Amino acid sequence: MLQIKNLSASIDNKKILKGLNLEVKAGEVHAIMGPNGSGKSTLSQLLAGKDGYTLDGGEVLFEGKDLLRLAPEERASLGLFLAFQYPVEIPGVSNLYFLKSAYNALRKKRGEEELDAVDFMELVKEKSKLVEMNETLLTRPVNEGFSGGEKKRNEILQMIVLEPKLCILDETDSGLDIDALKVVSKGINAARSKDRAIILITHYQRLLNYCEPDFVHVLYNGKILKSGGKELAFELEKHGYGWILES
Amino acid sequence: MISTNQKISHYLDAFQKVENSLLGNEIPWLKQFRAKAIAEFENLGFPSTQDEDWRFTEIETITNKKFDLPAKEETDYQKNEIHGSLLGHCSPDKIQLTFINGIFKEDFSKNIKNLPSGLKIKNFKSMIKDEPKTLEKYFNSFERLDSDGFSLLNDAFFNDGLFISLSKGAVLKDEIYLNFITHSSHKDPVVYPRLLCFADRDSELNLVELNLGEVPLNYLALSASELICAENSKINYCKVQKESSSGFHLAKIRAQVQRNSRFYSHSIALGGSMVRNNLNVALAEEGAECVLNGLYLASGQELIDNHTQIEHLKPHTTSRELYKGILNGKSKAVFNGSILVHANAQKTDALQTNKNLLLSQDCHIHTKPGLKIFANDVKCKHGATVGQMDQDVLFYLRSRGIPKEEAQKLLIVAFASEIIDQIQLETFQNQLTPILFTTLMGKN
């Protein structure tokens, strides 16, 4: 589904990614771990299409298409979804309206009929139960005045409503208490399917206790240093990132 | 190039010509009122960029032209053509009054017979005929110390107008629609629409006014509105301007807010070659309150200028002001808000905010929120912001599949919604939102 080949990118002339390789197939769950500054967020933002990065080399294929040439909305309509590390607040736009606009924009792009307000409301109510989200958060402006945990749940809600093919979760577990982490994990696990791939970008092994990955990669200094199964995460937790550098 | 004297004498000459045929010419107080106005105009002339209040508002484009009163009453307009653009046309059960070139048109008005009890609506012509004393009384309750060259011209030349009064305790939930249309086959016409409104004790009134230009050529609309909120009453005055891109609209709006009464103003300026609103509110007695909200959309070469002044004259008076602007192209906007707290107006509570969204590199906003406080126990705050569209928010929306243009539109409408949502007149809001959309789409 996703092939990242020898990807190098910089921001303000500072090299962040230095020849990154990764292949993700449908049905797989990958965890990318790494210390601060290793390039985790750059990778996720670059894949989603954020401006401001210079591509120094390499390529990214998403379902065979040259992903980096596409506008963010085109990537979304192909089925790519990024759960933001820091979701933005949008005053004046209700959460429900935003979600419906996104949902219908994607349907329109696929040539499907748009869903009316009543049917959409039903769909969202059903899905928001899964992430235990208070219904009042739907009528409030997007993320405005939401707690950290509510913002992350809102990201997961968007994910399970929009049903993307590839979900990239950028530190969705950071700053969550254990109860919120469980709820978010439940949402992620519900999204697992044989047609969908998930990339969990995280600092902490804790999330992986609830969402078991098929593969774990260690990102360090702009490159994947080591890849392995879920046991790699436990090793990291035990020995720290220094252990990878030494071995 | 026309000299300053020529610019002024053009209007003085015009006045001499029409003086004896103007409305109420036989009534001494009105004749005097006009004579005084034209004399003051002769003395004062037009403002210039040398005047602090007109620093950023270049009016040469107006004064270099010779605008004339339409030679005859327009009759060749298409009734249907105008009807479609009137505000309130989708609410057939509501009261609608239409003025063309400042003159009342009964055949364009609706539901004006059998008015709700307590409501009086008459044009100036009938007032002069039936009850000149009443008109005189309310006319003379304004001192008009804030007059400028343009407002004085309205004082001198107005030839009709609208008088609305609501009697004690009458509460009118349904809004009344006022349509002021400029429509002339005459070259460079000048029109003088005028409104006088009185809400008596404990009454409540909602007015929605549309100012619309249908002239492909230049025109000048010099409008004057005067409103009085008597004790414990409320007036909600919404003014929408949708002048043509070659139209000039300069307005003087004065409101007197008496004990425990409330004046709400929603000013929606959607365009015009130049639009200038002077809104002056006097919180004249204890417990008086005003809410002044504004939204302006400027694009191309347009200039929209809002000058507001709130005078806190007595203790325990409250004002809330929020003006928001969206600018594109090479347009220019001016916001100048002045809050004046007099020495004995203790416990004044005033809040003033101006926010601007700039969509292009070449647009300009001159914003000057201002407080002058002569009392020592008050709560006053003011501020202004100028910003561009938040790129992080735009990226967030696009990353969810919303196309760029749609995402931009969504954010612009969200910016405007803070004003629209506060209007609290559902039918009008529903009619306004699509107008806002089309204006924005036409402008982007």
Look up residue B215 and give its two tokens: 């002239």
Give the percent of chain B with pLDDT over 90: 73
Shortest CB distance from A93 goes to which of B392, B403, B410?
B410
Give CA–CA dist A171/A150, Å, rounded: 14
Give CA–CA dist B327/B386, Å, rounded: 11
pLDDT of residue B188: 87
User: How far away is chain A from the Cα of B92, in angstroms, using its nearest Cα?
Assistant: 28
Q: Is residue B87 pLDDT above 70, yes or no?
A: no
Q: Is residue B296 pLDDT above 60, yes or no?
A: yes
Residue that the structure tokens 């894949």 belong to: A47
Shortest CB distance from A102 goes to which of B392, B401, B411?
B401
> What H or E segment, with its residue span, contains residue A238?
helix A231-239
Q: Which of A99, A151, A166, A119 is nearest to B401 (CA)?
A: A99
Q: What is the mean pLDDT of residues B241-269?
A: 95
> B1 falls in which pLDDT band (50, 70, 90)?
low
What are the tens digits of pLDDT across the range A116-146?
A: 989 999 999 989 988 888 888 999 999 999 9
pLDDT of residue B150: 96
What are the tens digits of pLDDT across the range A33-42?
A: 988 888 998 9
Q: What is the mean pLDDT of residues B125-130?
A: 95
Q: Tell me the residues of B at the A interface, defined by beta carbons under 8 Å apart.
A: 390-393, 395-404, 406-407, 410-411, 413-415, 417-418
Q: Is A94's Cβ below 8 Å from some Cβ in B?
A: no
Give CA–CA dist B333/B274, Å, rounded: 10
User: How far away is chain B from the Cα of A158, in angstroms, using its nearest Cα?
Assistant: 8
| Residue B236 β-bridge partners | B206, B264
Q: Are B431 and B238 in contact (CB under 8 A)?
A: no
Backbone phi, psi, residue B108, to 5°: -100, 0
Q: Which residues, including other chains, have CB under 8 Å from residue B54's CB and lie 6 or more apart?
A: B47, B48
Look up residue A79 and give its two tokens: 């089925």
Look up residue B69 and give its two tokens: 């009163």
Shortest CB distance from A73 goes to which of B392, B398, B414?
B398
pLDDT of residue B74: 61
- Residue scoring higher pLDDT (B70 or B343): B343
Q: Is residue B444 pLDDT above 50, yes or no?
A: no
Number of domains in chain A: 1
Residue A226's SS3 state is: strand
Residue that the structure tokens 């365009």 belong to: B271
Domain coverage including residue A32: 2-246
Backbone phi, psi, residue A16, to 5°: -110, -50
Sign of the alpha-carbon dihedral angle for B23, B29, B35, B41: negative
What are the tens digits of pLDDT across the range A176-232?
A: 888 888 988 998 999 999 999 999 998 888 888 899 999 999 999 899 988 988 888
Give CA–CA dist B15/A131, Å, rounded: 74
Give CA–CA dist B400/B394, Å, rounded: 10
Give CA–CA dist B347/B377, Å, rounded: 6
Q: Is residue B443 pLDDT above 60, yes or no?
A: no
> Cβ contact (<8 Å) for B404 and A162?
no
Q: Which of B196, B216, B322, B186 is nearest to B264 (CA)?
A: B322
Give the percent of chain B with pLDDT over 70: 94
Residues of A whose CB is below 8 A from B411: 90, 92-93
Shortest CB distance from A109 goes to which of B396, B399, B401?
B401
Backbone phi, psi, residue A245, to 5°: -65, -35
Q: Whole-prediction pTM value?
A: 0.88
User: How far away is chain B from the Cα of A98, in angstroms, using its nearest Cα?
Assistant: 8
Residues of B whose CB is below 8 A from A49: 395, 398-399
Q: Is residue B217 pLDDT above 60, yes or no?
A: yes
Residues of A whose CB is below 8 A from B407: 73
Residue A224's SS3 state is: strand
> Cβ contact (<8 Å) for B414 and A48?
no
> What H or E segment, with its residue span, contains residue A10?
strand A2-11
Q: Which of A3, A171, A9, A143 is nearest to A82 (CA)?
A: A171
Look up residue A203 and give its two tokens: 């600092």
- CATH number of the domain where residue A16 is located: 3.40.50.300
Q: Is residue B103 pLDDT above 60, yes or no?
A: yes
Q: Which residues, including other chains, have CB under 8 Å from residue B280's CB and lie 6 or more apart?
A: B146, B252, B253, B254, B255, B308, B309, B311
Euclidean distance between the first and the last CA atom of chain A, given in angstroms as a whole number? 31
What are the tens digits of pLDDT across the range B344-371?
A: 999 999 999 999 999 999 999 999 999 9
Residue that the structure tokens 């949708």 belong to: B242
Query: b/e string for B64-74 if b means 16 or more Cβ within 10 A?
Result: ebebbbbeeeb
User: How far away is chain A from the Cα of B141, in angstroms, using its nearest Cα?
Assistant: 41
Q: What angle do CA B71, B76, B80 make, to 5 degrees?
A: 135
SS (H, E, C) chain B: CCCHHHHHHHHHHHHHHHHHHCCCCCCHHHHHHHHHHHHHHHHHCCCCCCCHHHCCCCCHHHHCCCCECCCCCCCCCCHHHHHCCCCCCCCCCCCEEEEECCEECHHHCECCCCCCCCEEEEEHHHHHHHCHHHHHHHHCCCCCCCCCHHHHHHHHHCCCCEEEEECCCCECCCCEEEEEEECCCCCCEEECCEEEEEECCCCEEEEEEEEEECCCCCEEEEEEEEEEECCCCEEEEEEEEECCCCEEEEEEEEEEECCCCEEEEEEEECCCCEEEEEEEEEECCCCCEEEEEEEEEECCCCEEEEEEEEEECCCCCEEEEEEEEEECCCCEEEEEEEEEECCCCCCCEEEEEEEEEECCCCCEEEEEEEEEECCCCCEEEEEEEEECCCHHHHHHHHCCCCCHHHHHHHHHHHHHHHHHCCCCCHHHHHHHHHHHHHHHHHHC
Look up residue B329 and give its two tokens: 């192209």
What are the tens digits of pLDDT across the range B372-425?
A: 999 999 999 999 999 999 999 999 999 999 999 899 989 998 999 899 989 988
Q: Is residue B83 pLDDT above 70, yes or no?
A: no
What are the tens digits of pLDDT across the range A47-75?
A: 999 998 999 999 999 999 999 999 999 99
Residues of B whose CB is below 8 A from A90: 393, 396-397, 411, 414
User: How far away is chain B from the Cα of A83, in angstroms, using its nearest Cα?
Assistant: 10
Select from B399, B405, B422 the residue whose CB has the most chain A CBs within 10 Å, as the one to mutate to test that interface: B399
Residues of B whose CB is below 8 A from A91: 414, 418
Look up residue B293 and give its two tokens: 């909200």
| Chain B nearest-CA residue for A50 | B395
Give CA–CA dist B345/A150, Å, rounded: 45
pLDDT of residue B248: 95
> A174 falls in which pLDDT band (50, 70, 90)?
confident
Give CA–CA dist B121/B163, Å, rounded: 6
Q: Are B255 and B266 in contact (CB under 8 A)?
A: no
Give Cα separations from B184 to B56, B101, B187, B195 (angstroms). Answer: 30, 8, 8, 21
Q: Which residues, including other chains, have CB under 8 Å from residue B352's CB and lie 6 or more apart?
A: B310, B319, B321, B322, B337, B339, B369, B371, B381, B382, B383
> Cβ contact (<8 Å) for A76 and B400?
yes
Give CA–CA dist A25/A29, Å, rounded: 9
User: How far away is chain A from the Cα of B411, in angstroms, using its nearest Cα?
Assistant: 8
